[in-house]
Amino acid sequence: MRLIDTAVQPVGNDLATRLASVPGLVRPGVSHWDMKTRLPLHPLSVENAYGDPRLLHDLAVPAVAFARQLDADVIVGAETGGIPLATAVALAGDLPFAFVRKPGYIGHEDHEPRVRGAAVAGRRVLLVDDAISQGTALEAFADQLRAENADLVGAFALVDMRDVADSLTPIATTLPIESVATYLQILAKAVDLGVLDQGTHNLAVDALLNHWPDDDPRWSLLDPQTAAA
């Protein structure tokens, strides 16, 4: 027996607005990814959305609908950001739950399984993560699942960042993927909510889409102190 009726839950733009309004999720300021790639905004703190149980439940609703569409047998959370959301999806959809370790994980025992929780071998699984970008992490998790003989039928993320990725792995273009919103949609919602001013938004989007070099003088317009450092 299913626990929710997805037809009456908030989805689409309203849910994207609620996500963008989470305190601290969108933060102005120049930052760096892995201490290398310069970013015109701080990375999204998507995990902040997990603090509100009602919102976490509602964010799971479109993933439940997607899982049903794909006839998924098991919901699998990607370590670590996808685990809380995947748990909510499994509970909302009354589906088995598992999580997949990051490649390279070293456990306390030899030959620890890559996937913990429900059995995935020979079953159709929906992978859940907080965000998907180029697809590098997605590809790695897919390899882990294949090694456990799972049938990966799709992926769900809160934020689909492929709209600002400079390249995509093959799996990011072929695997069925759904999300609450794209990254650019979240930024647009943040402007509507007053979290980002329009000027910062315009500069940040330009930097993301046109891949500003580090010596571009416009960095100083986004964060003078960071740009001058």
List pLDDT tens digits, range 193-222.
999 999 999 999 999 999 999 899 999 999
User: Which pLDDT score is estimated for 37?
Assistant: 82
Long-range contacts made by residues 109-115, C-beta under 8 angstroms, separation at least 24? 113/148, 114/144, 114/145, 114/147, 114/148, 115/76, 115/144, 115/145, 115/148, 115/150
Buried b (16+ CB within 10 A) or exposed e, 43-58: ebebbbbbeeeebbbb
What mean pLDDT do residues 71-77 have? 98
| pLDDT at site 106 | 64
Burial of 215 (0-12, 13-18, 19+ CB in 10 A): exposed
Single-letter amino acid code for the residue at 19: L
% the chain with pLDDT above 70:
88
**Span 74-86, mean pLDDT?**
96
Q: Is 205 exposed, middle or buried (0-12, 13-18, 19+ CB in 10 A)?
A: middle
Domains and their CATH numbers in the chain: 6-228 (3.40.50.2020)
- The answer to whether residues 46 and 25 touch, using CB atoms and an 8 Å cutoff, is yes
pLDDT in tens, 104-153: 766 656 667 889 999 999 999 999 999 999 999 999 999 999 999 999 99
Q: Is the peptide bond before 80 cis (omega within 30 degrees of 0)?
A: yes
